[in-house]
């Protein structure tokens, strides 16, 4: 069954040059936006939370020695840059889109207002949530879980570089086992680092399933949004 409303979590990897791993690559953004537009055309309401790791990450070596809160705020601003790039690309695909920021910057984006976001979705617009929760020390994964609950998304789709959740790093360990599905508590007990525990706990408390899938495979964003069950499901 195709979900009616979904929350898509895009990390900074969705914007970066595949070879360099940082910056904003127009070709990569265009591919991602074209897939989102195709999925949106099916009638699914799509909300998006963007990360900013391709520009600045508060826990990175670039932030070494900085006040942690200041570093996190810089990371939030990076997500706004990505959100504006994605909105521009989606509009070029003919998809009406809005950016809502948890940090007020009225010349660039709407302030985050839950009911306004829901209204945009009901009118067929894509809503891109930027600036995290507006508070330091919260990841964009937690933001994605929070926004999914707030707008009533039926599933949280986490786009990653691997085709699901493994018991250990599949790049370093060829014998890593992929889980087709996991329970929330099983995920937490295994100490997996695909998402932080706050995000998982919030989804568990509000019964929002999570699908982790590989966004680098062409067509996978469309499949995930349409509910084709790729990757790993946490429920």
Using one digit for the tens of pLDDT, what is the confidence trace for 116-127?
999 999 999 999
Q: How many domains does the chain have?
A: 1
Q: Give percent of the chain with pLDDT exceeding 70.
A: 96
Using one digit for the tens of pLDDT, what is the confidence trace for 101-155?
999 999 999 999 999 999 999 999 999 999 999 999 999 999 999 999 999 999 9
What integer pLDDT is reported at residue 167 of this predicted model? 84
Q: What does the alpha-carbon distance between residue 50 and residue 56 come to, in Å, rounded to a whole number?
A: 13
Q: Dihedral sign, CA of 102, 104, 105, 109?
A: positive
Using one digit for the tens of pLDDT, what is the confidence trace for 206-216?
999 999 999 98
What integer pLDDT is reported at residue 1 of this predicted model? 54
What integer pLDDT is reported at residue 114 of this predicted model? 97
What confidence tier does 34 reach under pLDDT thresholds 50, 70, 90?
A: very high
Q: What is the mean pLDDT of residues 41-60?
A: 87
Using one digit for the tens of pLDDT, what is the confidence trace for 164-213?
898 888 888 888 888 899 999 998 988 888 888 999 999 999 999 999 99
Give the domain extent around 105: 5-234
Q: What is the mean pLDDT of residues 16-22?
A: 79
Residue 58 burial class via C-beta count within 10 angstroms: exposed 0-12, middle 13-18, buried 19 and up: buried
Mean pLDDT of the chain: 91
The CATH number of the domain holding residue 193 is 3.40.1160.10
Q: Which residue has the higher pLDDT, 103 or 58?
A: 103
């Amino acid at each position: 069954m195709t979900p009616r409303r979904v929350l898509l979590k895009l990390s900074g990897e969705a914007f970066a040059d595949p070879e360099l791993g940082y910056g904003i690559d127009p070709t990569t953004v265009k591919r991602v936006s074209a897939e989102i537009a195709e999925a949106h055309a099916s009638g699914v309401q799509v909300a998006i939370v963007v990360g900013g790791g391709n520009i600045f990450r508060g826990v990175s070596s670039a932030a070494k020695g900085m006040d942690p809160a200041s570093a996190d705020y810089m990371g939030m601003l990076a997500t706004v840059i990505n959100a504006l790039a994605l909105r521009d690309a989606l509009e070029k695909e003919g998809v009406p889109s809005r950016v809502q920021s948890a940090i007020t910057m009225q010349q660039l984006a709407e302030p985050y207002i839950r009911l306004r976001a829901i209204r945009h979705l009901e009118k067929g617009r894509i809503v891109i949530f930027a600036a995290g929760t507006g508070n330091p020390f919260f990841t964009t994964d937690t933001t994605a879980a929070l926004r999914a609950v707030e707008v009533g998304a039926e599933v949280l789709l986490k786009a990653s570089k691997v085709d699901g959740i493994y018991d250990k790093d599949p790049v370093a360990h060829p014998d890593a086992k992929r889980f087709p599905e996991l329970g929330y508590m099983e995920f937490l007990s295994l100490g997996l680092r695909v998402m932080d525990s706050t995000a998982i706990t919030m989804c568990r408390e509000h019964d929002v399933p999570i699908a982790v899938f590989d966004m680098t495979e062409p067509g996978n964003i469309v499949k995930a949004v349409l509910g084709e069950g790729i990757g790993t499901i946490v429920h």
